Amino acid sequence: MAELRRSKFETSSRIELPNDFNPENTHASDYAADLGEPGSFPYTRGVRKSMYRGKFWTMRQYAGFATAAESNERYKYLLSQGTTGLSVAFDLPTQIGLDSDDPLALGEVGKVGVAIDSLDDMLTLFDGIPLDKVSTSMTINATASTLLCLYLAVARKQGIAFDKVSGTIQNDILKEYIARGTYIYPPKPSLRLITDTFAYCAAEVPNWNTISISGYHIREAGSTASQEIAFTLADAICYVQAAIEVGLKVDDIAPRLSFFFNSHNNLLEEIAKFRAARRLWARIMKDRFHAKDPRSMMLRFHTQTAGSTLTAQQPEVNVVRTTIQALAAVLGGTQSLHTNSMDEALSLPTEAAARIALRTQQVIAHESGVADTVDPLAGSYAIEELTTELERLASEYIAKIDDLGGMLRAIETGYVQREIQDAAYDYQRAVETEDAIVVGVNRFQTDETERIPVMTIDGRIEREQVERLQAVRAKRDAAAADEALKELSDAASGTENLLPLILNCVESHVTVGEISHSLRRVWGEYQEAVTV
């Protein structure tokens, strides 16, 4: 029996696909004006003239679990296997500013990432890893300024000048209010921490990417490709405006902005999405913010393959999904890439699964040939039409957000959250009606229960982490720690840049939780509005 196909073909953003893309039924006549050259405005074809002919994208594997010592072993293993940059996953207590012995942290210590409570933990995490040789990305938001200061304190202990340190903190609090939920403080003081980080790093840590504005989690929450572009760039607009309002110049901070996107299953739409996002951001920076430095107009981004597409059923098939998604990111011109492991719908990745995920990138880089020429699909009717349509749809969303009063207001009213919820609902309906096929889930199932090795976190991890934390508190200079915290609390009520004070705290062995609670007492905690 012949396999039934859909009666209507469209992308996640509801762009209807014609049977054939050709000059007669597309905007082909407009393509030449928008294409330009690689490495030139509007950067549709990439932010570097030679792209991967000169240097491959940074191959990262997001990793972190249990204790700092165990995560350090995984980092060294990944570096030995060809990873060219580290990407740190933190546990939930660290992400929301709770120490491992906080009652609210019970049962979560070391579970979805590494537990970091103090400078001692950070020194262990990067033991034997020279911070002037390795670029590190840290997926951390509400406590991003504290983790950055911990990283800088490690660099100082290693005798490395801050201007030799490179990497990225995610530091994107707006998407936490939209899609993920690991926020602590209300938006206004949260934005202050971000702009303080911008200013401090511009002066002291010039090679650090001070924010990675994330569409990844927006997409994981159920958005379409066009929504991912729009809401990510709308967040970025808000950050740039906030920086300008505190007296920073756009060309002083914009070159160190970076972005973080999802790579989903629809190969052509995802390639076009990255190209459309680059082009739209270049125009926003030039026309809205009047940036002069070409680097301010370049949308540099990290990509992670789509965790939400991974299935617990037939988990080996996830290797195929991840390969398609990684290929889309490379063809779309990413600067950095993490490939998910096949077992992540079941657990944290095992070492073997992480190795296969890394090898996926290496095969694409060294064997596929797609990195041998810049933007190899440029001029394809399908790619150019999708790029144009995605840019148009994203621009309409940004205009709507502007009409609402900007991204903060759009978040406060629940507009962005509702748009994502509606898109997620539509997709789930499509899966249930089999308008969207998920191999192994609603079609092509097997009766067999497939078993693969999965990682488990021993309960002793939490007990031992709490003991280490208590030992840190016992041996530190209590008076120096208290004084550092008092100085931070006093400054939080004013306008002084908080980064030097947070750095002083962590070097006085004040813990992540103590710093966060100190700021909570001044700023309060954010309470989410109901949007459903």
In order of their start, the domains of the chain are 56-368+390-432 (3.20.20.240)
pLDDT band at 3 (very low <50, low <70, confident <90, very high): very low
| Residue 294 CA: distances (Å) to CA of 54, 198, 252, 260 | 20, 19, 12, 20
Burial class (CB in 10 A: 0-12, 13-18, 19+), 324: middle
pLDDT value, residue 76: 94
Q: How far apart are CA 463 and CA 377, in angstroms?
A: 53
Percent of the chain with pLDDT over 90: 84
At residue 21, the pLDDT reads 53
* Percent of the chain residues topping a pLDDT of 70: 94
What are 315-364's pLDDT values in tens digits? 999 999 999 999 999 999 999 999 999 999 999 899 999 999 999 999 99
Q: What per-residue confidence (pLDDT) applies to 72? A: 95
d(CA 491, CA 493): 5
Measured at the CA of 364, the angle between CA 362 and CA 367, to 5 degrees, comes to 90
Cα–Cα nearest to 91, from 123, 73, 72, 116: 116
Q: What's the token pair of residue 431?
A: 């899966």
Q: Which residues contact 358 (CB under 8 A, 6 or more apart)?
A: 59, 61, 78, 81, 82, 83, 339
Q: Give the model confidence (pLDDT) of 224-273 as tens digits.
A: 999 999 999 999 999 999 999 999 999 999 999 999 999 999 999 999 99
| pLDDT value for 30 | 62
Residue 196 has pLDDT above 90, yes or no: yes
Q: Which helix (H) or strand (E) holds 428?
A: helix 415-432
Backbone φ and ψ for 229, nearest 5 degrees, come out as -60, -50
Q: For residue 329, how far is the Cα from the chain centroid?
A: 14
Backbone angles phi, psi at 48, to 5 degrees: -125, 140
Q: What is the pLDDT of residues 369-391, one digit of tens each?
A: 999 988 989 888 889 999 999 99
DSSP 215: S
Q: Which residues pair with residue 211 across a beta bridge? A: 257
Judged against a pLDDT cut of 50, whether residue 185 lies above it is answered with: yes
Q: Which amino acid is at 462?
A: E
Helix segments in 177-257, DSSP class H? 187-204, 216-220, 225-245, 250-253
Residue range 299-314, pLDDT digits in tens: 999 999 999 999 999 9
In the chain, the N- to C-terminal Cα span, in Å, equals 43
Sheet holding 301-305, edge to edge: 208-209, 167-169, 136-139, 85-89, 58-63, 336-338, 301-305, 257-263, 211-214
- Global pTM? 0.91
Q: How much is the average pLDDT of 138-150?
A: 97
For residue 93, say if its preceding peptide bond is cis, omega within 30 degrees of 0: no
Residue listed under structure tokens 């290693």: 158
Q: Which distant-in-sequence residues (6+ apart) come within 8 Å of 456 by Cβ?
A: 347
Rounded distance between C-alpha atoms, residue 467 and residue 40, angstroms: 55
- Are 254 and 241 in contact by the 8 Å Cβ rule? The answer is no
